[in-house]
């Protein structure tokens, strides 16, 4: 069976890549709301203290300030935990960022239940639904360090707001260093014919293990990384729909309004297929990341179980 390597958390990769970009982009201003050591925006602060603003524990104010900076020609990158940033900054993102379509960038860290022991109040599990609800937003979930290195520089060129989701724990290494990914273009990380698992972020590693398990049972499974939820990759979905018998969406997010709901909408338009969805339906609890992923059905074994049921449904 596949030996998944775990490396740098995507939040740390974010801090590192942003700091490199700061060198050639003097218009980048980084903001944080008293979580810079956790989001790793403190790397940027250490290198460019004059272009770093800690607004205090005041996420709504931070998003508003980012709007003013963006409206004045700066390129703000504002970070906090995903839940605080998207929930507490939501109306400011709607009125002062999305509505005027400003080039402001937001990074929500500690997404999903894999943050572990801190528990539900700190877990960002609605962040993607909120960000995707906003017209004009680009929403990305880099899976690992290489994905961050490839995707974050492209964010600078996007002519509208962007939301970037990062995680707390070490990420499964999906891509080799130097891999080129494109915002808006899903990536096939494993080929297969019968079932496509459409996923992103931390769930790619679990899905790959699940795919290996299923292959041992004779199923052929493709895994696709939809690192860009918005705008969703229509040609990618067409490829998937036309070359699979069923689709399983897997996400570390609430099922309502997440990746699965977006993909289902497009699959329904292109070529309706049997589908199923692995994700969260409620607030979780404290525990180790590993325990929580198992307990809340996001482990490779759970993914394989749901996939098996879906595939059996096809045969009957």
Partner 1 sequence: MRTIIELNSLAKSIRRDIVKMIAAAGSGHPGGSLSLVEIMVALYFGDIMNHDAKDPKGKNRDRFVLSKGHAAPVLYAVLAEAGYISKDLLPTLRKLGSPLQGHPDLRKLDILEISSGSLGQGISVGIGMALAARLDHLPGKIYIAVGDGEINEGQIWEAALFAGHHHLNNLIVIVDHNGFQLDEANRKILDLNPLADKWAAFNWNVMVIDGHDMASVHGALQKAGQSAEKPTVIIAKTVKGKGVSFMENNNKFHGMAPTETELSQALAELE
Ligand X SMILES: Cc1ncc(C[n+]2csc(CCOP(=O)(O)OP(=O)(O)O)c2C)c(N)n1
Nearest to 163 by CA among 204, 122, 104: 104
Least CB distance to partner 1 at residue 225 (A): 29
Least CB distance to partner 1 at residue 267 (A): 35
Partners of 53 in the beta sheet?
31
DSSP states of 72-98: TT-EEEEEEEHHHHHHHTHHHIIIIII
Question: Contact between 58 and partner 1 (CB under 8 A)?
Answer: yes
Catalytic annotation present for 59:
yes
Nearest to 42 by CA among 72, 93, 79, 74: 79
Rounded to whole angstroms, the Cα distance separating 13 from 268 reads 36
In the list 16, 27, 34, 215, the residue contacting partner 1 (rule: CB under 8 A) is 34
Question: Contact between 245 and ligand X (CB under 6 A)?
Answer: no
Site for partner 1 in 195-224 (CB under 8 A): none
Asked if 160 contacts 131 with a C-beta cutoff of 8 angstroms, the reply is no
Name the active-site residue from 23, 27, 59, 217: 59
Locate 25 and state its tokens. Answer: 């982009």
Query: What is the distance of C-alpha 199 from the center of its chain?
Result: 9
Q: Return left, alpha or beta for 310; rule: phi > 0 is left, psi -120 to 50 is alpha, else beta.
A: alpha
Question: Contact between 126 and partner 1 (CB under 8 A)?
Answer: no
Question: Contact between 297 and partner 1 (CB under 8 A)?
Answer: no
In the list 27, 34, 212, 266, the residue contacting ligand X (rule: CB under 6 A) is 34
Question: Contact between 47 and partner 1 (CB under 8 A)?
Answer: no
Rounded to whole angstroms, the Cα distance separating 104 from 9 reads 23
Least CB distance to ligand X at residue 88 (A): 6
Burial 205-215 (b: 16+ CB within 10 A, else e): bbbbbbbbbbe
Question: Contact between 57 and partner 1 (CB under 8 A)?
Answer: yes
Question: Contact between 286 and partner 1 (CB under 8 A)?
Answer: yes
In the list 35, 63, 213, 221, the residue contacting ligand X (rule: CB under 6 A) is 35
Q: Which does 290 bind (CB under 5 to 8 A by kind): ligand X, partner 1, none?
A: none
Partners of 172 in the beta sheet?
6
Binding site for partner 1 (CB under 8 A): 32, 34-38, 42, 54-58, 60-61, 83-84, 87-88, 116-122, 283, 285-288, 291-292, 295
Residues with a catalytic annotation lie at 59
Q: Which residues bind ligand X (CB under 6 A)?
A: 34-35, 57, 84, 88
């Amino acid at each position: 069976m596949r030996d998944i390597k775990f490396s740098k958390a995507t939040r740390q990769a974010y801090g590192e890549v942003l700091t490199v970009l700061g060198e050639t982009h003097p218009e980048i201003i980084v903001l944080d709301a008293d979580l810079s050591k956790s989001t790793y925006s403190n790397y940027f602060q250490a290198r460019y203290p004059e272009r770093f603003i800690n607004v205090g524990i005041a996420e709504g104010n931070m998003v508003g300030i980012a709007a003013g900076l963006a409206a004045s020609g700066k390129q703000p990158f504002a970070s906090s935990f995903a839940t605080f940033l998207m929930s507490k900054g939501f109306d400011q993102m709607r009125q002062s960022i999305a509505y005027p379509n400003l080039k402001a960038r937001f990074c929500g860290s500690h997404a999903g239940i894999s943050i572990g022991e801190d528990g539900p109040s700190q877990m960002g599990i609605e962040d993607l639904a909120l960000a995707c609800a906003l017209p004009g937003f680009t929403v990305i979930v880099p899976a690992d360090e290489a994905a961050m290195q490839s995707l974050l520089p492209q964010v600078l060129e996007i002519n509208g707001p962007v939301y970037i989701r990062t995680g707390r724990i070490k990420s499964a290494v999906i891509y080799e260093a130097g891999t080129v990914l494109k915002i808006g273009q899903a990536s096939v990380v494993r080929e297969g014919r019968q079932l496509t698992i459409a996923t992103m972020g931390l769930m790619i590693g679990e899905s790959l293990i699940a795919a290996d398990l299923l292959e041992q049972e004779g199923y052929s499974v493709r895994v696709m990384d939809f690192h860009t939820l918005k705008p969703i990759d229509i040609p990618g979905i067409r490829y998937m729909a036309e070359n699979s018998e069923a689709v399983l969406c897997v996400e570390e997010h609430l099922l309502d309004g997440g990746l699965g709901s977006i993909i289902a909408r497009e699959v329904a338009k292109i070529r309706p297929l049997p589908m199923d969805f692995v994700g969260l339906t409620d607030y979780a609890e404290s525990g180790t990341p590993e325990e929580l992923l198992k307990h809340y059905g996001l482990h490779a074994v759970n993914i394989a179980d749901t996939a098996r049921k879906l595939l059996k449904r096809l045969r009957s």
